[in-house]
Amino acid sequence: MNTYLNFIAALFWLATFGSAAQNQLEHCPKQGWEELSLQATHSSYIDAVQNWLSNNDLKECNRAKAWVWIANQHIESGNIDATIETLKAQIADISDIQSSLDLRVILARAFHISKDYQAEQALYHEILTEEIPAELAEYRRRSHVTLALSYAADHKTIKAIEWIELSLNEYRAINQPETLVGILALASNFYFQEFWHRQAHDLLIEATKYEDVIDDMPDYWARIYAKLAQIAVYRRDFEDTLKYTAKSAAYCEEFDSDVCRYFVHRRSASAYISMNRLAEAEKQIDQAKHLLGHIDDNVELQKFYLQYARLAARKGQTEIALKSIQQAAYFMPLEYETDSFATAHNQYALSDIHRALGNYREALSWQQALTNTLYKWISRSSHLAMGDIFSELTVIRQQSELKRLEHEAEINARKLQIADQQSQVNDDLLMYQSVAMVLLVVLGGYAFYNHRKWRKLARIDALTKVLSRGALMSAAKDVLARELDPYAVLLFDLDHFKVVNDKYGHPAGDTVLQTVSERVRANIKSEDLFGRMGGEEFMVLARFEHPDDVHSLAKRLLETVRHDPIVSEGVSIPVTISIGVSMILDEDDDLPNAYARADKALYQAKQSGRDQVAFSVID
């Protein structure tokens, strides 16, 4: 979680907290140890201060102030263990509430640096359970912020969001704009890590309202607008991306930072690539490349080379694109075990690269991996994201993209097949033309006579006598365009059908398919559409008046199939089906959207044990 924006927001937090803590100790009179501390350029002076403290009677607040100084010296020298031991020994002897809080805050900082996050969290929870006087309420407010930082560092972003939201509500109620802006930036970054881009965007926009109040930190605002640009890329709002990068660039020039300029150029390139403005993208990526020497973060270096590969792929530069992918993998693994956000970023980039190169099989693989990552993320975060439609729409968009890629792959395969056959076709064309002329004369009348019969046969599946896939999809499209009534897609297939074929033979398998079709047809309304999608997969498009009607129908189909074994050549064959259900939504442009959701639900039904119904998540 040590991201660019987190770092700057943490600076706000530490600066304001340190100032507050120091002011709260100013009432303590000097008692001699301060002169020794001013000379402390070597560890021996720390020992001198400690010896002086042990031999002199000090006020509690002054003693706490001295131990805070000693702990900070240990932290700065990297001696964290000494810091922890020193503070643990002193806290027990301090009864003054404010002094005790000061020491425990420094101890918590030491725990954080040593990555003992559980100890840090336990210490802050201990502070929050105590009765803190109203004049020291700032300790409670800042404990909420530091707890959020601790949970974020501990890869518990949902807990971090809970605490940062509590802190936001507190600081919105008081007049501390610098602290509030820092916390808004932190909260935005936490939401961004959870794919809640709308909330992340709104929090940063709230922060920009204080731009005129905090006008002496151009570096901070440069990073705020750079983050807004990054969020806009993920929201596919590329015009906003360019608007925010322009704002960030203006602030970069104020404090003359090459690192800042690098981020402006890379994010501008990302927007231009997605908008297919490749000449402008190339200019931006080249400028970012010249500044790459200022970047020492491996994750960011990996992002740069994946973006370079995206640009090369769009330009048809296959070798450069593949080489850039190899360079990206050099810096970090392309798929992480703990950081699903980084994994999703890479999966999206690699899918886009391989699609642009025409490697549809590889693109499909990465696109499916991305969809799985997003579903896992939504499932983990659902208790806080009940109303967050954006995350679910992201998954739907990825599913639609997946179907589009499958279609492109199918077309590509057909083109290759046609190319392979073209030479043979050319050789035989003349002969076929001669034969065709004769056949056309002889068969013309016959074809005209049987036209309607052949058309009907093309619409009907020969084995099961239900609609074929093409006929079903065409009829469904017509119905949905014409009817205003609600409809649902019920997608089902036969459980372990391969076992039936292997154990009882293909004739028995054909009997099972025919019997299941007959049973289903007997349990649906005459106006419902029913067809075979291929193999053992079937689909029903059913009109309903209430969602409970769909649930009842699905249960009825399960029961009618499972109730009686199917008999083939004297052998009883038990058969069950699994069903995935999706309602046709108002925003569905066409049937494939609902089909994709039903297909996902069918997969869930099978994963949960088969012989059951699963409804799509959105429904």
Q: Looking at residues 324-332, what average pLDDT do you find?
A: 81
Is the pLDDT at 342 greater than 50? The verdict is: yes
DSSP conformation class of 565: P
DSSP string computed for 196-247:
-HHHHHHHHHHHHTTTTTS-S-HHHHHHHHHHHHHHHHHTT-HHHHHHHHHH
Gap between the Cα atoms of 152 and 149, Å rounded: 5
Is the pLDDT at 610 greater than 90? The verdict is: yes
Query: What are the angstrom distances between the C-alpha of 288 and each of 273, 274, 293, 312?
Result: 14, 17, 10, 15
Is the pLDDT at 520 greater than 90? The verdict is: yes
Is the pLDDT at 1 greater than 50? The verdict is: no
Give pLDDT tens digits for 287-315. Answer: 999 998 888 888 888 889 988 998 998 88
In a 13 Å sphere around the CA of 369, the CA atoms on its Cβ side amount to 22
* pLDDT at res. 361: 79
Gap between the Cα atoms of 3 and 249, Å rounded: 19
Tokens 């000494």 label which residue? 82
162 burial via Cβ count (<10 Å: 0-12, 13-18, 19+): middle
Q: Which two tokens stand for residue 350?
A: 């690699």
Gap between the Cα atoms of 583 and 601, Å rounded: 11
Q: Which two tokens stand for residue 490?
A: 């019920």
Q: Looking at residues 572-598, what average pLDDT do you find?
A: 87
Q: Which two tokens stand for residue 185?
A: 């930036």
Is the pLDDT at 362 greater than 70? The verdict is: yes
Q: Looking at residues 396-412, what average pLDDT do you find?
A: 59
Q: Which two tokens stand for residue 214?
A: 């905090």
Confidence of residue 17 (pLDDT cuts 50, 70, 90): very low
Residue 305 DSSP SS3: helix
Average pLDDT score over the chain: 77
Gap between the Cα atoms of 491 and 592, Å rounded: 12
Gap between the Cα atoms of 106 and 71, Å rounded: 7
How many other C-beta atoms lie within 10 A of the C-beta of residue 405? 20
Is the pLDDT at 455 greater than 90? The verdict is: no
Give pLDDT tens digits for 85-144. Answer: 777 777 777 777 887 888 788 888 888 888 899 998 998 899 889 888 888 888 888 888
Confidence of residue 576 (pLDDT cuts 50, 70, 90): very high
Query: What are the angstrom distances between the C-alpha of 8 and each of 3, 185, 522, 602, 614?
Result: 9, 9, 67, 46, 46
Gap between the Cα atoms of 171 and 179, Å rounded: 8
Highest-confidence range of 29-38, 372-381, 400-409, 507-516, by mean pLDDT?
Answer: 507-516
* pLDDT at res. 460: 84
Q: Looking at residues 463-478, what average pLDDT do you find?
A: 87
Q: Looking at residues 226-249, what average pLDDT do you find?
A: 87
* pLDDT at res. 55: 52
Confidence of residue 419 (pLDDT cuts 50, 70, 90): low
Q: Which two tokens stand for residue 569?
A: 């050549």
Tokens 């929090």 label which residue? 203
DSSP conformation class of 343: H
The rounded percent of the chain whose pLDDT value lies above 70 is 71
Confidence of residue 606 (pLDDT cuts 50, 70, 90): very high
* pLDDT at res. 436: 46
In a 13 Å sphere around the CA of 492, the CA atoms on its Cβ side amount to 29
The rounded percent of the chain whose pLDDT value lies above 90 is 19
* pLDDT at res. 492: 95
Q: In the chain, what's the furthest Cα-to-Cα distance?
A: 121
The residue among 108, 30, 21, 103 whose CA lies nearest residue 67 is 103
* pLDDT at res. 118: 93
DSSP conformation class of 539: E
* pLDDT at res. 8: 44
The residue among 105, 19, 103, 23 whose CA lies nearest residue 63 is 103
How many other C-beta atoms lie within 10 A of the C-beta of residue 44? 9
* pLDDT at res. 519: 92
